[in-house]
Amino acid sequence: MHGRRAVSGGRAPLRRVLYCATSAAIIWNPRLRAYYEHLIGNGKLHKLALVATMRRLLPILNAIIKTRTPWRSPCAA
């Protein structure tokens, strides 16, 4: 295969929600914003950096659901 890859498999509704959540997290979450900007600074494309950040956010959300605890910012005392 040559050229750019496209995501087509998996669960489209979940992917759509995760995309929106990641877009908001890049703006409001300092850790995810730093990770995203690190990828962009290394020359990664916007979409690739966004998908990588989505993959970083997914285990965080799974842990929140599993433990049934709200998100706690590491900066909060």
In the chain, where are the structural domains located?
12-67
| Tokens linked to 56 | 């970083």
pLDDT at 5 over 80: no
Q: What is the pLDDT of residues 13-63, one digit of tens each?
A: 888 999 999 999 999 999 999 999 999 999 999 999 999 999 999 999 999
pTM > 0.85: no
Task: Look at residues 67, 70, 38 and name the one whose alpha carbon lies nearest to residue 52.
Answer: 38
- Higher local confidence (pLDDT), 77 or 4: 4
CA Rg value for the chain: 14
Q: What angle do CA 18, 19, 23 make, to 5 degrees?
A: 115
